[in-house]
Amino acid sequence: MTAATHTPRVLSGIKPSGGLTLGNYLGAIKRFVDMQGQDYETIYCVADLHAITVWQDPAELKNATREVAAGFLASGIDPTKSILFNQASVPQHAELGWIFNCVARVGWMNRMTQFKDKAGKNSEAVSLGLYAYPALMAADILIYHATHVPVGEDQKQHVELTRDIATKFNNDFKAENFFPLCEPIIEGPATRVMNLRDGSKKMSKSGESDMERINMTDDADTIAKKFKKAKTDPEPLPESLDGLKERPEARNLVNIYAALSEQSSEAVIGEFGGEGWGKFKPALAELAVEKLAPISAEMKRLMDDPAEIDRLLLNGSEAAQAIAEPILQQTYDIVGLLRPRR
Ligand code: AQP
């Protein structure tokens, strides 16, 4: 049995585990929007099943799910061009996820650095779901036979694991090429946006302090304040990129500027090399406000009509299931799972 041939298919998602950050925007959403206009079939999901691998307040989760959907839509994901849905409304993800739990090896999971980072010293007490998360992520991708996965740098290892799972499944069940070997797409100057207070950590939704991240819904004053207080060093910006090698915080701010202004980090250094932070930080804040303010205004408008967001997500979930269900049924047949029918 071989995989159906189809146009290159893109799958990616974001967890509703807190407000969207500039890291999510530059590392993921902005690139999802760019791929929509190219020669791909694009499928994007709000990964609510991944969010609950750590505690989420049930009273907040539905709202957070709609807010991530609003973030996608406000940034330019067009439901007539892309399929947009929330993961819990397409049960085929979880069903294939279980099969992949039985394909993936414990030794593979033990090597996942994101689990080690998130579990920290507390690894005995975290949920089994947090440990198994990458197998569900593999299912998110492979339930659509997706071929391309745009992600930030932090997710590269999970996409590589997805390839390992696909290969082992295809070999174990002698189902040559049934699951394709997907490619991670990690491009541009902002594939790892760093924490504003510590340039060795990535910017995260769930980081401890609000000052370490820019939220997509922050207002202009808050954005200006956060960049002003962002950790830097006393040196002015260097005249060449090489001069940023040992300066993680400075490099991060230059990369953010580059990604927001859609130019290379070299070009930013060309413009600001030799300047001090008193000039660069206000310019960065102004640029971030210019790009984020219209998105956050549109998110607020969309969030005023949750029924409309739900309607769009329902359409997306029907379109997603139309692709996922036949692939799940083929998978069940390959594995030999009985489904008596009337
Ligand atoms: N700092 C970042 N820089 C670049 N890309 C990033 N992404 C996340 N943070 C950055 C990318 O956003 C997509 C969605 O990520 P996710 O929400 O599913 O999971 P995450 O990577 O765990 O994101 P957070 O913000 O760090 O969430 P929490 O704090 O809840 O764990 C992915 O493509 C990711 O690479």
pLDDT tens-digit map of 36-48? 978 899 999 999 9
CB count in 10 Å sphere of residue 342: 2
pLDDT mean over 141-151: 97
Output the pLDDT for position 243: 93
> Could you tell me the CA-to-CA distances from 195 to 200, 205, 206, 212, 227 in Å, in that order?
7, 10, 11, 5, 11
Output the pLDDT for position 5: 60
CA nearest ligand 1 atom 12, residue: 24
CA of 206 to the centre of ligand 1 (A): 10
pLDDT mean over 198-202: 93
pLDDT mean over 298-304: 97
Amino acid at 63: N
CA of 316 to the centre of ligand 1 (A): 22
Domains detected in the chain = 3-185+305-335 (3.40.50.620), 210-301 (1.10.240.10)
Active site residues: 118, 202, 205
3-state secondary structure of 157: helix
Mutate to test the pocket of ligand 1, among 115, 117, 155 (most ligand atoms within 8 A of CB): 155
Is 34 in contact with 2 (CB distance < 8 Å)? no
* Pocket (CB within 6 angstroms of ligand 1): 14-15, 17-18, 21, 23-24, 27-28, 47, 151-152, 154-155, 191-193, 202-206
Report angle CA 185, 294, 63 to the nearest 5 degrees.
Answer: 75
Output the pLDDT for position 1: 47
Q: Residue 2: pLDDT above 60? A: no
Output the pLDDT for position 27: 93
* Distance from C-alpha of 107 to C-alpha of 256, rounded to nearest angstrom: 36
Residues 164-173 pLDDT 10s? 999 999 999 9
